[in-house]
Amino acid sequence: MQNTQTDDAQNNHTAKLSYTIKEYCAATGLSRSTVYRLANAGKLRFCKLGNRTLIKYQDGKRLIDEL
């Protein structure tokens, strides 16, 4: 049996650090309007980088884990 921490580290190595809203919707199956509704309710944080709106991997994963 492998160490769970090792498995998590390997998985995080290949995971994206952030997603655009379009990418996050595709990855989760949530609609764009639902993602904005969750952000407005304070359940999901957006990060702005120039004119791009991003969702950090940890924030997006936390939201899905809480469902």
Structural contact between residues 24 and 60, judged by C-beta atoms closer than 8 angstroms: yes
Domain that holds residue 45: 17-66
16 - beta bridge partners?
none
Q: How confident is the model at residue 67 (pLDDT cuts 50, 70, 90)?
A: confident
**Spatial distance between the Cα atoms of 31 and 36, rounded to a whole number of angstroms:** 9
CATH of residue 25: 1.10.10
Residue 5 lies in a domain: no
Q: How many domains does the chain have?
A: 1
What's the rounded Cα separation, in Å, for the pair 67 and 63?
7
Query: What pLDDT, in 10s, does the model give residues 2-52?
Result: 555 545 545 555 678 999 999 999 999 999 999 999 999 999 999 999 999
pLDDT for residue 1: 46
Q: How much is the pLDDT for 8?
A: 54
Dihedral (CA of 18, 20, 14, 44) sign: positive
Residue 57 forms part of a structural domain: yes
